[in-house]
Structure 1
Amino acid sequence: MRIVAAAAGVVLAFSAGAASAQAPETLVATPSEPLLIESVARGPAGALIVSSIHKGRLMRVGADGTLSPFGPEGRQAMFGLAADPARGVLWVASSPSPADEQDDRPAELLQIDAATGAVRAGFAAEGLEHAYGDVALGPDGTVFVADSRGQRILALRPGGATPQPLAILAGRASPQGMAVSADGRWLVFADYSSGLHRIDLSEGYAARDFTAVPSTPLPGPEGAELRGIDGLARYGDRIIAIQNGTRAHRVLRLTLNADWSAITAREPLLEGPPLEEPTTGFVEGDTLIFVSRSQWTDFGPDGRPTSAEPAPAVVSRLSLIPETRP
């Protein structure tokens, strides 16, 4: 959720290093109009669904690449998006934003029928002091949502009446992407200004209050920069991270130790162009499908478009298998 991260003033200046040898494949290039695409998920029958912050809606990508409205309209900015094919639903976070065309209303976590686009359920925050951004799923169907403005991570258990606080964060925390281990034991989340953090879900879903004793970022390899990360996705026992808070934007493959308490290896899969404010994505087989150009660079500090005809937003596919080099 780049808009809140930008407000935190975190732009880290590190050298670009060598760009990746592999090139991502373009799957979607939107029309040259302000849309501000934040997230992407796989919908029914194989169609991709993207979320638009500026238009405050979801859009389905047709076989010919055209976009058509999907699901609810007339709400507000649509941010994180996650598909739960086992239950036939999509989850999307909708929040107030200066970059949309709607009046502000409380943030919502929406459960949407993946086949019809109808809203099955909506879970609204109390008041306007919350911004639901990234969304992640646990193997049991629990939905996790990052509230960057409220500095919390929430968990909605299957059948639950409302999302409950899982982590209450301190200081200038700006929670972003999340990834859950395959067994549902660990949740790792990105705090834009401090790095990656782990929550032990085996302790239950009672709120952890880190306001008095801040949580400690996961250690990584010496010199590895793990701040400025937006999107996270699990890839087997590894995590794929999309880093847009550094001068050179990156897609990283992170190897963790057995209990997800440390990052043991950090490998850039893609660095620099064509990445331009990449945001979030999902893992499909041995590939990452992600928003590689979001159009955040085409919106000003006031949240308004700086051009009526910006370059298209782009959804790309990137191989996660290391290339063999001679």
Structure 2
Amino acid sequence: MRHVVKLALAGLWLASGAHAQTVDPASDLGQFRTLRGDGMTALQQGDAAKALEIFDKARAILPDSPSIALLQAQVYMQQKRTDDAKAVLTDYLKRGNVLDLAKSSDFTTLWDSALEDQLQANEAPFGAIRVAAALPDFVIAEALAYEPHNAQVVYVSGIRGGNILAEAPGGERQVIKFRPGVAAFGLGLHDGKLWASTAQSRQTEGYDASKPVTSKIVAINPADGAVISTMTDAKVAREFGHLLAGKDDLYVIDNNHGEVLRLTGYGATLEVLVPEGYMDSPQGLAENEDGSLLIVSDFTSGLYRVDLKAGSMTRLLAPADGNLLGLSSIARYGHDLIAIQNGFKPNRVLRIRMSADWTQAESVETLLRSEKLLAQPSQGLVADDFFVFVAKSQWSHLDDQGNPRAETVEPALVGVIKLTP
């Protein structure tokens, strides 16, 4: 029994965000975590039947949770219920997950050619990209903004140097460099302004923990880097993350509290749109065409649909063929979402086919899966029929403590994928 618990916990990193928040026990994520904990307790007490009953309830909330699936399969194997274990593993692999059989020897006796074929397909390289820009220095590329009709300029935030770079066919220029230890974690273009969400970062040159810096939203003239305006939240200590320059409003993630904030009409006052308690690590933001709906991707619990007119929010279940966890970025393409999934290996770019009203994620299609072309891809955006994104961010060149492994690194890459309606 102890072996089961250890293996299950080891897999939880796949669905853990960078910032753990206070989660409301009554929320979907809160209920899932309570059930998972209760199931683990039942296992430790030797009550496998009760554990399976509880895990079924947890899986109904997060059907794409890899940890729950592997736990269930292991318990079934211990009960010699091979067919049930195989059914769980078939579903697990159908969702695009992978498995190291050397570390999961419990499953070797039931492993057959169908499971192996699906595993090999999930690991195989798929798709291609065109490289739009290569950044040879150690920059740690994070956020993007793009002007396809203005000399095809791609704006890239460099976490290491604390700057924003403009990449164009004619070369590279630095738009702005922030104060020491500060970098932009979100970028967006609206009405001729380059919007950036900034925060202090220990990975940024000049960082000094003894000198805290307030997180800000900054409006910048992209032509000369002049700061047009800045805003902060004087009441709450924020750490701004990903940003979406929407049709009428600006949206930004607060990593400190797991909240989504809105700057209505690109004005001067931030309001809480999604309060703390629902999500662990919100990251991706996408708005529908008329600006009435917002999709938020939480790294740990998947997609949430926010009705901006009704002021309501619902979490979307993953389709039977996909996994909606571990998404670092989402962007709208027609009714669909193009997503970067860097919480699982191999990293991949997905197309999530959505219903027209965004009440359902109907299916998941892999556009790109490659250990060679992708290395901790971070953020991306849709421009016409292309997905422009940071394919190699250089985050993977940091060790477990967040320190550079070496000063000489492989270039950061901005890639482009052709999309079809």
Q: With structure 2 as the length reference, what TM-score do the two structures score?
A: 0.67
Q: Displacement, 1:178?
A: 0.3
Say which of 242, 250, 254 aligns to 1:134.
242
The one of 181, 188, 191 equivalent to 1:82 is: 188
1:1-326 map, 5 Å: 5-6=17-18, 8=20, 14-15=97-98, 17=122, 19=124, 21-31=126-136, 33-43=137-147, 44-65=150-171, 67-74=172-179, 76-84=182-190, 87-101=191-205, 102-103=207-208, 104-126=212-234, 129-140=237-248, 142-170=249-277, 173-203=280-310, 217-273=315-371, 274-321=373-420
Conserved? CA contact 1:180–1:186, under 8 Å: yes
Higher relative contact order (CA 8 A, sep 6+): 1
Indicate the structure with greater strand content. Answer: 1
Within 1, Cα distance between the matches of 2:235 and 2:162?
19
Task: Go from structure 1 to structure 2 and tell me whether the alpha carbon gap of 1:20 and 1:321 turns closer, same or farther (over 3 Å shift).
Answer: farther
Contact 1:105 1:128 in 2 (8 A): no
SS at 1:158 equivalent: helix
CA drift at 1:128: 8.3
Query: Structure 2 CA distance, aligned partners of 1:288 and 1:298?
Result: 24
CA contact (8 A) 1:106 1:127 kept: no
Structure 1 residue 80 displacement after superposition: 1.3
CA distance in 2, matches of 1:247, 1:22: 16
Q: Aligned partners of 2:279, 2:154: CA distance in 1, in Å? A: 34
Q: Which has the larger radius of gyration?
A: 2
C-alpha separation between the residues in 1 aligned to 2:20 and 2:393? 19
Q: Is the 8 A contact 1:250 1:271 kept in 2?
A: yes
Looking at structure 2, the residues matched to 223 and 22 of structure 1 have their Cα atoms a distance apart, in angstroms, of: 19
CA–CA distance in 2 between the matches of 1:8 and 1:165? Answer: 19
What SS is found at the alignment partner of 1:222? coil
The question of whether the paired residues in 1 share the 8 Å contact of 2:327 and 2:339 is answered with yes
Following the alignment from structure 1 to structure 2, what is the Cα–Cα distance between the partners of residues 269 and 258?
21
SS in 2 for 1:45: coil
In 2, Cα distance between the equivalents of 1:300 and 1:170? 30
Deviates more, 1:277-286 or 1:43-52: 43-52
Which amino acid counterpart does residue 309 of structure 1 have in structure 2?
T
What's the CA shift for 1:72? 4.2
Q: 2: CA distance between counterparts of 1:149 and 1:313? A: 27
Superposed CA offset, 1:55-86 (max 9, x none): 11101124344x321124325121111122xx
Distance apart, 1:54 and its partner CA: 1.3
**Would the alpha carbon gap of residues 126 and 248 (structure 1) be closer, same or farther in structure 2, given more than 3 Å must change?**
farther
Deviates more, 1:180-189 or 1:44-53: 44-53
One-letter amino acid matched to 2:152: G
* TM-fit CA distance, 1:275: 1.0
- Is the contact made by 2:388 and 2:415 (CA closer than 8 Å) also made in structure 1? yes
Mean Cα deviation higher: 238-247 or 129-138: 129-138
Distance 1:284 1:38, change over 3 A: same
* Cα pair 1:72 1:119 within 8 Å, conserved: no
Distance 2:346 2:66 in 1: 9
For residues 272 and 250 of structure 2, the distance between their equivalents in structure 1, rounded to whole angstroms, comes to 12
2:17 and 2:280 in contact (8 A); partners too:
no
- For the aligned residues, what is the CA RMSD? 2.4
* Distance in structure 2 (CA, Å) of the matches to 1:238 and 1:175: 19
Shift of 1:173: 1.1
Give CA deviations for 1:244-278 in whole Å, capped at 9, x if unaligned.
Answer: 00122111111111321210111110012311100
Give the deviation of 1:127 after TM superposition: 7.6
Cα distance in 2 between the residues matched to 1:159 and 1:81: 14
Query: d(CA) in 2 for partners of 1:252 and 1:308?
Result: 32
Q: Is the 8 A contact 1:34 1:307 kept in 2?
A: no
Query: Once the two structures are aligned, what percentage of the paired residues are identical?
Result: 32
Is 2:336–2:354's contact at 8 Å kept on the other side of the alignment?
yes
Distance 1:300 1:162, change over 3 A: farther
TM-score in terms of structure 1 length = 0.86
**Residue-by-residue CA offset, 1:292-316 (whole Å, 9 max, x unaligned):** 0000111123322111111111000
**Number of residues of Structure 1 aligned to a counterpart in Structure 2:** 304
